[in-house]
Amino acid sequence: VSGCNSESRGALVVLEGLDRSGKTSQSSRLLKYLEGLGHSVELWRFPDRSTNVGQMISSYLSNKSQLDDHTIHLLFSANRWEKRSLMETKLKTGTTLIVDRYSYSGVAFSSAKGLGDEWCKAPEIGLLAPDLVLYLDIQPEKAAERGGYGDEKYEQLEFQRKVAQCYQVLHDASWKIVDACQPIEDIEKQLQELVLECIMACQKGKPLAN
Ligand code: T5A
Ligand code: NA
């Protein structure tokens, strides 16, 4: 077990993927695992529906309100910005954050609607860069079979196909692509290894980036 030296920073670990790819299941398993090892760790998610901005997003996603595509895009981004300084404090004081969706969701879902890539990325500039992105890779058709989609705005096969295409062009060096169609426990094991490796690199002084 790696030590929880108060001098070292926590890791920013993000889970991404289509709706129903298993992000929430895996992020809570990671939380339990890391807590069990004695790490200081928290589970965050975006959208964070608990804030005023988050409530507007939630109302939009559940089709209770209509918003222009650009407007909702900026609200999703604002919802990350309002948590940025707390995020930085947590990481700098040694807490690892497991984050269920982040900027990549913001860009993938809005560009799937036809908004330009560069326009979508602009409001994300200056947010903290993840140390590790775990992309849970699943075919949209397979995801749709999982307990069926609910009533939320984006839970439609045709739209999820476009989102999958948009995610494909977003991956960078921080991404690890994991086959999300494996049994839950197999995925869990793979994610544990990747996250421990990442936490160790951060403890050894990997700088926090924008
Ligand atoms: N969005 C979000 C934007 O447009 N812009 C943004 O900036 C952001 C942040 C938010 C929506 O908003 C969009 C993206 C989303 O459409 P949400 O609240 O994050 O939505 O909801 P989802 O991520 O869609 O949550 P889901 O619950 O649908 O998907 P998860 O979390 O990926 O999946 P999970 O873990 O709940 O699992 C789904 C089902 O599959 C089973 C689970 O038991 C569950 O029934 N499952 C498996 N079955 C078989 N094998 C496995 N390996 C399995 N893993 C899980
Ligand atoms: Na989820």
Pick the residue with more confidence: 122 or 7? 122
Predicted pLDDT of residue 7 = 74
Q: 4 pLDDT exceeds 70?
A: no
Confirm or reject: Cβ of 146 under 6 Å from ligand 1.
Answer: yes
- Among 21, 59, 69, which residue has the most ligand 1 atoms within 8 Å of its CB, making it the best to mutate? 21
Tokens 């980036």 identify what position? Answer: 209
Q: 2 pLDDT exceeds 60?
A: no
- Confidence at 151, pLDDT banded by 50, 70, 90: confident
Q: Which residue type, as a one-letter code, is found at position 68?
A: D
Q: Which residue type, as a one-letter code, is found at position 85?
A: S
Confirm or reject: Cβ of 81 under 6 Å from ligand 1.
Answer: no
- Confidence at 148, pLDDT banded by 50, 70, 90: confident
The CA R_g of the chain, rounded to the nearest whole Å, is 17
Give the predicted TM-score (pTM) of the model. Answer: 0.96
Q: Which of 14, 18, 13 is nearest to 168 (CA)?
A: 18
Average predicted confidence (pLDDT) for the chain: 95
Centroid of chain to Cα 132:
10
Nearest atom (ligand 1) to Cα of 57: 12
What is the dihedral sign for C-alpha 128, 36, 23, 183?
positive
- Confidence at 167, pLDDT banded by 50, 70, 90: very high
Q: 1 pLDDT exceeds 70?
A: no
Percentage of the chain surpassing pLDDT 90?
Answer: 94
Percentage of the chain surpassing pLDDT 70?
Answer: 97
d(CA 46, CA 7): 28
Judged by DSSP in three states, 55 sits in: helix
The predicted-structure confidence for 180-196, as pLDDT tens digits, reads as follows 999 999 999 999 999 99
The predicted-structure confidence for 16-30, as pLDDT tens digits, reads as follows 999 999 999 999 999
CA distances from 138 to 4, 13, 146, 185, 189 (A): 34, 19, 11, 16, 18
